[in-house]
Structure 1
Amino acid sequence: MSCKIRSKSIHIYRHQQHLKWSRHIPPVQTISSGDVIHFDTIDGSNGQITKASSKSALEAFDISRADPAFGPVFVTGAEPGDVLQVEILELETADWGWTAIVPGFGLLPDEFPEPVLKIWSLDAAQPYVTFKEGIRIPKRPFLGVMGVAPGSGGDFSMIPPLNTGGNLDCRYLTVGSKLYLPVQAPGALFSCGDGHAAQGDGEVCGTAIETSLKAKLRLTILKNQSWVTAAQFETPPRTADLQAVDDAWLPDKGEYAAMGIDADLHEAARKATRNLIEWLVRARALNREEAYMLASVAGSLKIVEIVDMPNFVVAMSLPLNIFV
């Protein structure tokens, strides 16, 4: 899904960005409920990684500049206790993206201490991107960051998600989905960013296929919804045309999953990820760094069992149809 962005009536530009969540950041636009806005965002590196970058860019990477949000947008009439409905109407990726293993970041930082950078080509004419020969990843673009200002004073980091949204990294917020955010500050002060071309559940190596995105969103106030205290979302049924595109090159072949079992949920997820990496190395002839990145952009962490104490069971699964 790449889509052309047409109307330019309300536009947020790349220079209109911020690196903290705060109710005190002045809005760059004021809109009415129901207005459609066009966002031109840069990737989560904030320009620190380019199409020509090598892994040396990761060694100089400044995490304090990462995951910029574009906005904020003041929605007239939005008050604490309301909900801001965000409809994702169109998304258009750049023609390239990147995935990286960043030292000290991700689910297995102690096992992958060296920087690795992969630059992807994103062909708008193809519904997939090529990981390496024989492995194709379906494009499912989405904004990793969508949120409104927290109600309390002070500044909040862009990296951890909040009840008011932010760095949710939810791969289901694609075109046609709706995100519901609890309004805590007057005007809501909505911002978005952190474009992804594809990602698995969990984003285990810490990066997806990171890319710049142009987004067309509709923002609508839903009054008196104080029972919504954290982000919620709704996804549409898959349309016949999208299903036909997928079926043409991506027939369902099932999944392969590796489990991790531990009394600590985080450690169970680490074990499941580690075990899938081992399968990819042994059965699919990838090196460990490739396997880790592939798990991040196409794998899905799932809680299989959470009630049979003291141990949790987590599965890391991978769709077999990515292997062409």
Structure 2
Amino acid sequence: MHANALQSPPSVIHIQSDPESVFWGVLPSQNDPPLAVVDSASTISIDTLSHEGVLEDQGGDPIAFFGAQGVPPEQVLDDAVDLVSQLTHPKGVGPHIVNRRIDVAGARAGDYLKIDVLRLLPRVPYGIISNRHGKGVLTDTFPREHGTISIFAKQILHEGRMWGVIDKAGPDAIARYRERNGDRGKYRLSSPPEEGGSLSFPLHPFLGIMGVTPATDEHLNTVPPGDFGGNIDINLLVEGSSLYLPIQVDGAGFYTGDPHFAQGNGEVSLTALEASLRADLRLTVIPRRNFVERYGALRGPLVETPEYLVTTGRALTLDEALRNCVSEAVLALTHMHGMDDTHAYALASACVDFNISEAVDIVKGVHACIPKTCFDMPRP
């Protein structure tokens, strides 16, 4: 499937996921030259590419792998085929495919980059949910059969809304691929599919990775998130949301990847429903003084949706990630609404939901949903 099958407005800068434009498994570094430089408030359109279906444990052949799931060759993205034929996936790094850095003119370290999520469009009508050996939450139980389980899901449109459809039981995608390639039965799940044995769930596309380039010469692993953003996996970052990231290096060096059709909080099996998206995003530099005057001196990523202000916390343990997230929420409440910290802490306990963003990416993440309705009512 050609990358330009979807059309973007002519004024929008279009970034493809061809082998020359991406990193596989690592993030950009501060010494990398930019792939592009855009003005503040510019809109970019990025053809993100999912890693599921191109990885080594899935055969490294997206046409054969997805073909075993009934996907015709013309529905397999050209950039997925080009990636595996032209790039080598380094050992010991993450699985994700991210674009090389996109700099924003005038961005300075210490400022904030605002990313407005304008539009997210599926590039393909299918995706994969995977669980790999030793990864996920229930590592002592799953996967049951072999090193990786990959569940294939179709995307359908029903009554104007996108849904995902998966089988209730039966062979996984790797079993189908291996059986088709002569390894019959060796990797088959034990329970057979039943007639009409499928279920559907609503889709809410978002980007698991959005970040600014870290202040290091090293190309960091894509898996753990940080104050620079990266793999934060917050499923509220759908169309109409905004993400604020503290800029680490001049130019900001924006990148994105890890596209999802859907994800539950926690992403417990290791991956969400991974599927390639075209993302239209607006990148705007916010001077540090302006950001701090409005939100306070927050340490890490901040999300804003029509309903919520969302602070974040990260750490190697969920307990510490929660502590960090609560501290950020209290700071935002005290700064934005003139509360002392004791009353802000009480309000957080009364009306703020603290959710596990993800529990499987080395660094754990928690995000706080502060409802804007708390501050919309007239004061007595």
Report the TM-score, using the length of structure 1 for normalisation.
Answer: 0.67
Corresponding position of 1:121: 154
Contact 1:181 / 1:231 at 8 angstroms: preserved in 2? Answer: yes
User: What CA distance in whole angstroms lies between the structure 1 residues aligned with 2:234 and 2:68?
Assistant: 27
Matched, 1:17 2:22: yes
User: What CA distance in whole angstroms lies between the structure 1 residues aligned with 2:217 and 2:68?
Assistant: 38
Corresponding position of 2:118: 89
Unpaired stretches in structure 2, ≥5 consecutive residues: 1-5, 70-88, 168-196, 309-316, 320-352, 357-380
Counterparts of 1:1-324 in structure 2, within 5 Å, are: 5-8=7-10, 9-15=12-18, 16-18=21-23, 19-21=25-27, 22-45=29-52, 47-48=54-55, 50=62, 51-52=66-67, 64=93, 66-93=95-122, 94-113=124-143, 114=146, 115-124=148-157, 126-132=161-167, 133=197, 135-224=199-288, 225=291, 227-237=297-307, 302=355
Query: Cα gap change, 1:75/1:142 in structure 2, threshold over 3 Å: closer, same or farther?
Result: same
Please state how far the C-alpha of 1:52 moved relative to its aligned partner. 3.0
Give a deviation string over 1:129-150, Cα, whole Å, max 9, x none: 1234463211100001100011
Give a deviation string over 1:20-48, Cα, whole Å, max 9, x none: 22112221110000000000011033733
Please state how far the C-alpha of 1:163 moved relative to its aligned partner. 0.7
Contact 1:5 / 1:92 at 8 angstroms: preserved in 2? Answer: no
Contact 1:101 / 1:205 at 8 angstroms: preserved in 2? Answer: yes
Report the TM-score, using the length of structure 2 for normalisation.
Answer: 0.57
Unpaired stretches in structure 1, ≥5 consecutive residues: 55-59, 239-263, 267-299, 304-324
User: What CA distance in whole angstroms lies between the structure 2 residues aligned with 1:104 and 1:210?
Assistant: 19
> Which of 153-162 and 78-87 deviates more?
153-162
Equivalent pairs, count:
239
Contact 1:46 / 1:66 at 8 angstroms: preserved in 2? Answer: no
Corresponding position of 2:72: none
User: What CA distance in whole angstroms lies between the structure 1 residues aligned with 2:113 and 2:30?
Assistant: 15
Larger radius of gyration: 2
Contact 2:157 / 2:163 at 8 angstroms: preserved in 1? Answer: no
Please state how far the C-alpha of 1:168 moved relative to its aligned partner. 0.8
Query: Cα gap change, 1:45/1:62 in structure 2, threshold over 3 Å: closer, same or farther?
Result: farther
Question: Structure 2 counterpart of 1:120, which letter?
Answer: A
User: What CA distance in whole angstroms lies between the structure 2 residues aligned with 1:221 and 1:190?
Assistant: 11
Contact 1:83 / 1:228 at 8 angstroms: preserved in 2? Answer: no
Contact 1:5 / 1:216 at 8 angstroms: preserved in 2? Answer: no
Please state how far the C-alpha of 1:7 moved relative to its aligned partner. 1.5
Please state how far the C-alpha of 1:111 moved relative to its aligned partner. 1.2
Please state how far the C-alpha of 1:205 moved relative to its aligned partner. 0.5
User: What CA distance in whole angstroms lies between the structure 2 residues aligned with 1:135 and 1:61?
Assistant: 37
Give a deviation string over 1:281-300, Cα, whole Å, max 9, x none: xxxxxxxxxxxxxxxxxxx9
Question: Structure 2 counterpart of 1:208, which letter?
Answer: A
Question: Structure 2 counterpart of 1:79, which letter?
Answer: R
User: What CA distance in whole angstroms lies between the structure 1 residues aligned with 2:267 and 2:283?
Assistant: 27
User: What CA distance in whole angstroms lies between the structure 1 residues aligned with 2:250 and 2:53?
Assistant: 28
Give a deviation string over 1:113-133, Cα, whole Å, max 9, x none: 433221111125542112344
Query: Cα gap change, 1:301/1:196 in structure 2, threshold over 3 Å: closer, same or farther?
Result: farther
User: What CA distance in whole angstroms lies between the structure 2 residues aligned with 1:5 and 1:228?
Assistant: 37
User: What CA distance in whole angstroms lies between the structure 1 residues aligned with 2:354 and 2:153?
Assistant: 23
Please state how far the C-alpha of 1:167 moved relative to its aligned partner. 0.6
User: What CA distance in whole angstroms lies between the structure 1 residues aligned with 2:7 and 2:239?
Assistant: 13
Query: Cα gap change, 1:142/1:265 in structure 2, threshold over 3 Å: closer, same or farther?
Result: closer
Match of 2:268, SS state, is: coil
Contact 1:44 / 1:193 at 8 angstroms: preserved in 2? Answer: no
Contact 1:5 / 1:214 at 8 angstroms: preserved in 2? Answer: no
User: What CA distance in whole angstroms lies between the structure 2 residues aligned with 1:151 and 1:46?
Assistant: 32
User: What CA distance in whole angstroms lies between the structure 2 residues aligned with 1:201 and 1:119?
Assistant: 20
